[in-house]
Structure 1
Amino acid sequence: MADRLIRITTALAVVAVAAVAAVISYGHAYELVRAHGESGVTARLVPFTVDGLIWAASMVVLDASRRKQRVPGLAKWSLGVGIVATVGANVAHGLNHGVIGALVSAWPALALIGSFELLMALTRNAVPKVPVEPAPLRDWCTGEDTDVPGTEPVQALEQAVLADYLASLEGPGRPLSQRFLAQKHGIDRRKIKQIITATTESD
């Protein structure tokens, strides 16, 4: 209960700071865009493209983290460009007031980015851990898998993969690819390779 209360209050604080910082940062960017020749709808929408890019890139990073996959290079690049753009716009807005003015003007953008990344960290840490299926134990004397409770579904899935692969070897076309088998059975491609390799070595 205490951990949940801490997460909720922290999330509320982060959201509140991010909301205030977003409003101030948007105002700075809007005034900067207007001062450099844009007006009307364009001047109001350009600042949204910067923060929107940061949001989209962060969501891709979060999704990759949840799926235990590599973060796409484009997401990293977009996140970096968005951060540089929003901080740069706020710094430029305050340059007329000297170095202190530039730092004060840049602070809302930095607070927005920091709050957003803290919120992403809370979200990542809140993801429940999925229990891993126990791998079958191998008897080193016989070379065969021992019976372990809970391994029947895993073994059945491996047999289904093996059956599909062997059937494709007897067909007129090319054998089924590891990528196709992985997508069909929802197994990691490395596991498919292990199953096929074990079969060919045993032959």
Structure 2
Amino acid sequence: MSTAKDLRTGPIADHLIKVTTALAVIAVAAVAAIISYAHALNLVRTHGESNTTAWLVPFTVDGLILAASMVSLDANRRNRPTPALATWSMTAGITATVGANMAHGAPHGPIGALVSAWPALALVGSFELLMTLTRNASGRPDFTDDGRAEVEHYAPGCTTVEQTPEQAVLHEYRASLNGPGRPLSQRYLADKHGMDRRKIKRILTNADRTTPTNPD
């Protein structure tokens, strides 16, 4: 029973979901990119460009979207705001690719324009889905053996690890021993951290047993 549950919620299931999602998104992006490129190529050819120029212009549109997405992803991984140029480039690229595809289908009426625009929308959505998947994977915390999340927060020159509830209780109690008032009571710690008093007592007792004593 537990094995079946682990397959649904454990790391194997997480990896399978990621791989399946990535493959599906990449497949949709590839098909949409081919169709969108063909639409843009035909539009460029019928409006004065030919030969090498006609083949290269569509790449600049979708390439701009990809470049802006990668810059946005890099900023997200570094916990920085997305640069304004990346946001502007993304907006310009989306507008250009959707507009080009709509213009290609416009001679066939509103329905034709919408049908032609769909591959461009699917391509942009695929880019964003891939970026979201990558962001979530890079920001996911590691887990200890007992299931608690252990997250490292990086700052210039220092690294801190998020405390478990037990560590927080012990740290707060020990800090109160050096304070001006009385040490914190077990009842106070239990109410504050939402724990049973017996568990609080066990945490403090185990800490006292493992704390080395200094010889006189």
Q: 2:51 maps to which residue? A: 40
1:120-174 superposed Cα distances (whole Å, 9 cap, x missing partner): 10010111445130599988858xxxxxxxxxxxxxxxxxxxxxxxxxxxxxxxx
The offset of 1:116, in angstroms, is 1.0
Match status 1:81 vs 2:81: no
Q: Which runs of 5+ in 1 are unaligned?
A: 143-203
Q: Percent identity?
A: 67
Q: Which amino acid in structure 1 is aligned with residue 56 of structure 2?
A: L
Structure 1 residues 23 and 134: alpha-carbon distance in aligned structure 2, compared to 1, 3 A threshold: closer
Aligned mate of 1:131, from 140, 147, 152? 152
Q: Distance in 1 between matches of 2:161 and 2:88?
A: 38
Q: Which has the higher contact order (CA 8 A, sep 6+)?
A: 1
Alignment of 1:59-138 (within 5 A): 59-127=70-138, 128-129=140-141, 131-132=152-153, 133=160
Q: 1:56 maps to which residue? A: 67
Query: TM-score under structure 2 normalisation?
Result: 0.62
Q: Which runs of 5+ in 2 are unaligned?
A: 1-11, 142-150, 154-159, 163-170, 181-216
Q: Distance in 2 between matches of 1:100 and 1:40?
A: 30
Q: 2:29 maps to which residue? A: 18
Q: Distance in 2 between matches of 1:120 and 1:80?
A: 16
Q: Distance in 1 between matches of 2:161 and 2:132?
A: 29
Q: Which amino acid in structure 2 is aligned with residue 8 of structure 1?
A: V
Q: Distance in 2 between matches of 1:101 and 1:113?
A: 19
Structure 1 segments, 4+ long, off by >4 Å, are 134-142
Aligned length: 142
Q: Which amino acid in structure 1 is aligned with residue 65 of structure 2?
A: I
Q: Distance in 2 between matches of 1:76 and 1:19?
A: 23
Q: Which amino acid in structure 2 is aligned with residue 56 of structure 1?
A: A
Q: Which amino acid in structure 1 is aligned with residue 118 of structure 2?
A: W
